[in-house]
Structure 1
Amino acid sequence: MKLFKSAALTAVLVLITSALMVPTQAQAHGVSMFPGSRTFLCWQDALRENGQILPYNPACASAVNQSGATPLYNWFAVLRSDGAGRTTGFIPDGQICSGGTGGPYDFSAYNAARTDWPTTHLTSGANIQMRHSNWAEHPGKFDYYITRNGWNPSSPLKWSDLERFGSVTNPPKSGGAGGLNYYYWNAQLPSGKSGRHIIFTHWIRSDSNENFYSCSDVVFDGGNGEVTGVGPGGSSPGPDPDPDPTDPPPTGDCTATWKATDTGWAGHFQGEVTVKNNGTGAINGWTVKWTYTGGQNFDGSPWNGVLSGQAPNVAVKNATYNGQLAPGASTTFGFNATGSVPNPAPSLTCTSP
């Protein structure tokens, strides 16, 4: 319970700080949370338990060095109060991810054409649940685009690089405004995609001219929503897609069990997962995965684990200090979550290298 209170207090203080830093002319806020936008995933990468912004990811660190930490405390505020649904001819090429330079914060550093931004791994043609922050709620539509085949990820993003693949108006939401709640809808990813791309989401309010802009870095490699490039060691490429047949086989056999440990908050709960080595040899690292089906999400970062796959397709890896488990040994990680407690409990899988 002590960990829960500490994590909850940190989250509340950070959210209050963020709210106090929002200018009065900006009344609605939100960027893509899945696939995670550059500002959202850089915020997740950089936010420490004491509320400081100290990125691990090199692209996020470069952006903070250029424009400071204030944009990440306001990760949800990539906006233009005069957007009015405009695209080409309004926001210049090369400034699409920041919504140009006319917003309340300087997000220009997040236009950088580089390949080490936090990345979501997807499968071409798959159906996914897209999620967009509803930090403040307003009616409107979401247009979403993807870069064309042949786009060069090392060149500045231009409007001619993008093709729209869907739109949704007034989608449902996971909970009330603020915090880490979101609008959500199902979308089919375009087929025939491979390698790195950007998914660009344009939120067009119907009750004002205010618009919001999100660039999400993705790679089509058969992934299921895993995120790399977030947190310490997060820039690793993930599991080897073509392992060497001479590599030694796994020496352990891990299992994972779930329980809800605190359900006292309406619309929130605390969860705990126990990872155990049931094998005959030691485990040197583990990953636990599950799928949420009721719109649940994380409220902050887990403790004693590293988030490597966003909801609804969750993946949590071991921390640097609890990945090695002797036969019969176990460890736990915990998290705060939004939404109702899953019923039935999700089915967990545990893998070890």
Structure 2
Amino acid sequence: MEPQDSKPRIIDIALQAGVGTATVDRVLNGREGVKPKTVEKVLEAARFLAESGGRPRVLAPRAEGLRLRALIGGRPGFANELLGQALRESARASGTPLQLEFVCRTDPAALAARLRACREDSIGGVIVQPVEHPFVRDAIAELIADGIQVVTVLSQMPGIDPLGHVGLDNRAAGRLAGQILGYLCGGRGTATIFHSNAIYRSHEEREAGLRSILREEFPQIEIVETISTDDDPALCFRQASDVLGRRPDLSAIVNLAAGNRGIERALLDAGRARSVQFVAFNLTPLSRNALIERSINAVIHQDMTRIAQEAIGAICTGHQGRPLPHVTIPCELILRENLRDISAGPRHPDASI
């Protein structure tokens, strides 16, 4: 019988050192970007395993020893608060301490700074809603190089490995929004798209999906304006009021982002809530009430509780040395007749749908 190779595998070293496999690969191949203390931890684990037969003698790190931070975009409001509340509850159920922060959507430098701060705070896992910006991309890559598990939620950031993700197929969600819009408008008319100022890949993918299905199946629906907002209900109200005043022929509005309450108010004030079809994203207590009152016609929904549970589970998976998963959650179409209860969560004076 040939002697067994005692050279430890990368996964064994990762389990022994309590870091990700990408960090081990980076250290063993002499690439930069890993903290000296992490380098020493990896090298010590490799030495120990080489001397002891090439298999870890300790259990994989337990989730109970993990500390998490979640960085969500925007001010606390209904949609954000539902996700934050679900993250807190999921972390509590797994016995994992979680610190939740809301970061300005339109300030990539602030988000990058908060991400980098995790390197100094003994954080083992980060859940982040990323904006598409080099500052944020570099900060996430630095966390991963340090052995910190990172999972993006709601919006993806391709090209960084290993990086987990939990969220919708947003292009498919945009196509669903376009399909229901086409049916509501009878296949013809004019539409305005509202989206966030923040550079979220999710919103870009939604818009691409929306436009693609309108071109393919509803060519007689014309998108006449695309309006950028700050997810601010007051700004959405002013912009929606303006476009309604200028376009008496407007048939439909699609909001890919937050601020639905402002658009709803503008439709009601203009007396056009029944004549202009309104398709929104994310079921919240406010959008649920608007569906009941018929001032919103359809909501494309993503289950924040499931997103939170999957994100916490993904971090724990990575903490145990296994690859971080990419989880696509189902996209739901919510109409007036299939409404379900949804937790209101804490109410804030600037709450938005």
Specify the TM-score bucket, using the shorter chain as the normaliser.
under 0.3
Compare the two structures and name the one with the higher strand fraction.
1
* More RCO (CA 8 Å, sep 6+): 2
Compare the two structures and name the one with the higher helix fraction.
2
